[in-house]
């Protein structure tokens, strides 16, 4: 591909330098000089901590044949053609899409966003599409599914970087897939990782208190989520494929706001509202399953039994079924697709080492998700049983949620163990203190109903030692993630393995020793 052809995909070119001759691009676009391949294009942008322009020479030495950056040509010394753009992150997405041949234009693209429930909802949609006989792929924060291949998408994960997203989509096209479900986080949207994807459907689970450290305000966070719905308008229209907006009627912060964004059709779902096109008319909760009867837009009543437990998963199921209705998928496939989803890694995942009580690992890392997880746990315990929760709050993230989560735990759990969850460069003791103070304000007594144990492995071990046969222990915050961050280093960590070790009587130590220093 010629570099001039790639430039045609850019929406914000400001200036150029050294564009006298044609340059052949033979390798993917990259923004990290360490992964530049000979014949590739390097995108230099000003990041939060690193200025990519300082690595232009390194990228060129590694074989970059052209550079795209945010600084004016006169401020950049480059031995290869240089193009200045307004937004380097957006340029990275546009160039990556062009290099891969704009794969999203050959797929029905379904984006799923929200504070909680994205991965589960994306998995349910993918299962419904597959049950309907469609060849569908999926990119979630857990993995990417391309045909028969299942590929991990990272350790601490958000939406993958734009070059990876576009490469996954290209693989799907090459494999003959027709549909893609793409989980889209607020970071992924705000940082333009999916900006060059031509979406056909946008699904929202909810918009709750989260990531205000990054976005700065509730309004900015909400607007980042809304970018997915605005992509419906800006994306290429594909023959015979409608632009669908799927909205949670039970989530007031998002329902009215998103409904104002244009789409061919706005479909609403709800557990109780009569105004929603898709709604749950009967729900029965059991510790091992959920039974829900769903009223579809044509009046059909669809009974579904799901291994996914709790009211929040009813909402996730409704979101997936609503999207399926928008794509005119038959009721039989909707039912079989939902019922085929047995377990989502790290989402209310049962850990069984033969112990006489229930042990669960869940990704709940926001106040709303923790509340929903604990409400579900209360429905699962035996008469006279207690809910014992282990949780923490991440460093360098929204500090307000530390007290909020402590309050939720104090109100809904019988025993609480506060511990580490990615303290990063912050003081772990100070993070735990904020949650502990809120837990105490909710009626907890330190040393009797709640404890602070910095080492996460020791905390999990302590929790399972507290448990009696009628109790339920739930480990919240990490879910499927495979690492935990202390300082600036990601150390291998898996809550599920730590819980198994604790149940076997041998606590898995956190690395490094978590003493808050």
Q: How confident is the model at residue 516 (pLDDT cuts 50, 70, 90)?
A: very low
391 is written with which tokens? 């949780």
For 460-491, the three-class secondary structure string (H helix, E strand, C coil) is: HHHHHHHCCCCCEEEEECCCCCCEEEECCEEE
How many of the other CB atoms lie within 10 Å of CB of 513?
A: 11
pLDDT confidence tier of residue 63, bands split at 50, 70 and 90: very high
- Span(s) in the chain for CATH 3.90.190.20: 349-503
* Least confidently predicted of 91-95, 319-323, 367-371, 450-454: 367-371
Q: Residue 70: which pLDDT band, with cuts at 50, 70 and 90?
A: very high
**pLDDT cut 70: percent of the chain above it:** 95
Average pLDDT estimate for 429-455? 97
- Count other C-beta atoms under 10 Å from residue 220's C-beta: 14
Query: Residue 100: is its pLDDT beyond 70?
Result: yes
Is the pLDDT score of 514 beyond 50?
no
Right CATH number for 349-503 from 3.30.450.20, 3.90.190.20, 3.40.309.10, 3.90.1150.10? 3.90.190.20
What is the reported pLDDT for 152? 75
Which pLDDT value is given to residue 211? 52
Per-residue pLDDT at 272: 83
- Phi, psi at residue 291, to the nearest 5°? -110, 125
Q: What is the CATH number of domain 3-99?
A: 3.40.1390.10
Q: Which residue has the tokens 């594909």?
A: 238
Residue 25 to residue 22: CA distance in whole angstroms: 10
Would you state the pLDDT for residue 515? Answer: 42
Reported as a single tens digit per residue, the pLDDT across 474-487 is 999 999 899 999 99
Identify the pLDDT of residue 157: 58
Question: Could you tell me whether strands 29-30 and 301-306 are parallel, antiparallel, or unpaired per DSSP bridges?
Answer: unpaired
Tell me which of 326-330, 367-371, 507-511 is least confident.
Answer: 507-511
* 95: helix, strand or coil: helix
Going by pLDDT thresholds of 50, 70 and 90, the confidence category of residue 298 is very high
pLDDT tens digits along 270-296: 998 888 999 999 999 887 789 999 999
Distance from C-alpha of 436 to C-alpha of 249, rounded to nearest angstrom? 34
Contact of 42 with 32, CB cutoff 8 Å: no
**What's the pLDDT at 512?**
64
Mutual orientation of helices 311-326 and 118-131 as an angle, nearest 10°? 40
Tell me what the mean pLDDT of segment 436-443 comes to.
Answer: 97
The model's pLDDT over 11-50, given as tens digits with 9 standing for 90+, comes to: 999 999 998 778 999 999 999 999 999 999 999 998 877 8
Residue 209: per-residue pLDDT: 57
Q: Where in the chain is the domain with CATH 3.40.1190.10?
A: 103-340
Please say if the pLDDT value at position 228 is more than 80.
yes
Question: pLDDT digits over 141-165, tens only?
Answer: 888 999 889 887 765 556 889 999 9
Q: What percent of the chain has pLDDT over 90?
A: 72
Strand ranges inside 307-381, DSSP E: 349-350, 358-362
* pLDDT, tens digit (0-9, with 9 covering 90-100), for 382-436: 889 999 999 999 999 889 999 999 999 999 999 999 999 999 999 999 999 999 9
pLDDT interval class at 498 (50, 70, 90): very high
Residues of the chain with CATH 3.40.1390.10: 3-99
Of residues 76 and 340, which shows the higher confidence score?
Answer: 340
Whether the link from the prior residue into 512 is cis, omega within 30° of 0, is yes
Band (pLDDT 50/70/90 cuts) for residue 101 is very high
More confident residue, 78 or 50: 50
Q: Looking at the DSSP assignment, which residues form a beta bridge with residue 362?
A: 476
Confidence of residue 513 (pLDDT cuts 50, 70, 90): low
Strand partners, 179: 108, 136
CATH number of 103-340: 3.40.1190.10
In Å, how far are 357, 412, 415, 456, 476 from 387, measured between CA atoms? 11, 8, 6, 18, 12
The whole-chain average pLDDT of the chain stands at: 91
**What pLDDT does residue 333 have?**
98
Question: What residues form DSSP beta bridges with 282?
Answer: 293
Average pLDDT rounded to a whole number, residues 221-230: 79
Count CB atoms within 10 A of the CB of residue 410: 21
CA distances (Å), 98 to each of 2, 39, 64, 168, 192, in order? 11, 15, 17, 14, 15
429 secondary structure, DSSP code: H
């Amino acid at each position: 591909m010629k570099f001039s052809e790639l430039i045609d995909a850019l929406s914000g070119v400001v200036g150029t330098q050294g564009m006298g001759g044609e340059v052949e691009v033979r390798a993917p676009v990259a923004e990290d000089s360490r992964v530049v391949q000979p014949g590739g294009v390097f995108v230099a942008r000003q990041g939060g901590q690193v200025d990519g322009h300082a690595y232009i020479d390194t990228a060129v030495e590694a074989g970059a044949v052209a550079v795209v950056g945010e600084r004016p040509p006169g401020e950049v010394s480059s031995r290869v053609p240089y193009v200045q753009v307004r937004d380097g992150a957006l340029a990275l997405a546009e160039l990556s899409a062009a290099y891969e041949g704009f794969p999203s234009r050959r797929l029905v693209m379904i984006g799923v966003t929200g504070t909680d429930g994205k991965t589960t909802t994306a998995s349910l949609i993918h299962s419904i599409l597959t049950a309907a006989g469609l060849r569908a792929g999926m990119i979630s924060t857990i993995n990417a599914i391309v045909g028969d291949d299942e590929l991990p998408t990272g350790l601490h994960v958000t939406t993958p970087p734009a070059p990876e997203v576009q490469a996954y989509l290209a693989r799907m096209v090459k494999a003959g897939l027709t549909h893609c479900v793409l989980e889209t986080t607020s970071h992924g949207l705000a940082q333009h990782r999916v900006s060059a994807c031509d979406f056909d459907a946008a699904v929202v689970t909810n918009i709750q208190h989260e990531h205000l450290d990054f976005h700065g305000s509730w309004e900015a966070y909400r607007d980042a989520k809304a970018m997915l719905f605005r992509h419906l308008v800006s994306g290429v229209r594909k023959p015979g494929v409608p632009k669908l907006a799927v909205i949670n009627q039970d989530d007031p912060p998002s329902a009215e706001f998103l409904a104002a964004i244009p789409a061919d059709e706005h479909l609403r779902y709800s557990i109780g509202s009569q105004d929603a096109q898709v709604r749950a008319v009967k729900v029965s909760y059991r510790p091992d399953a959920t039974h829900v009867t769903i009223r579809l837009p044509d009046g059909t009543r669809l009974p579904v039994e799901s291994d996914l437990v709790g009211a929040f998963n009813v909402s996730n199921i409704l979101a997936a079924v609503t999207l399926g209705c928008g794509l005119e998928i038959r009721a039989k496939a909707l039912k079989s697709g939902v019922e085929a989803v047995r377990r989502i890694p790290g989402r209310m995942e049962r850990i069984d080492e033969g112990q006489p009580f229930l042990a669960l690992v869940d990704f709940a890392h926001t106040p709303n998700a923790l509340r929903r997880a604990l409400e579900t746990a209360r429905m699962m315990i035996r008469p006279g049983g207690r809910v014992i929760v282990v949780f923490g709050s991440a460093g360098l993230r929204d500090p307000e949620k530390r007290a909020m989560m402590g309050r939720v735990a104090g109100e809904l759990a019988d025993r609480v163990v506060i511990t580490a969850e990615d303290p990063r460069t912050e003081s772990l003791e100070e993070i735990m203190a904020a949650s502990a103070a809120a837990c105490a304000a909710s009626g907890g007594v330190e040393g009797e109903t709640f404890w602070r144990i910095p080492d996460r492995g020791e905390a999990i071990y302590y929790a399972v030692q507290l448990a009696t046969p009628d109790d339920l222990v739930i480990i919240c915050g990490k879910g499927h993630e495979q690492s935990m961050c202390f300082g600036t280093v990601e150390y291998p960590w898996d809550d599920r393995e730590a819980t198994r070790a604790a149940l076997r009587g041998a606590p898995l130590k956190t690395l490094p020793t978590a003493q808050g220093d």
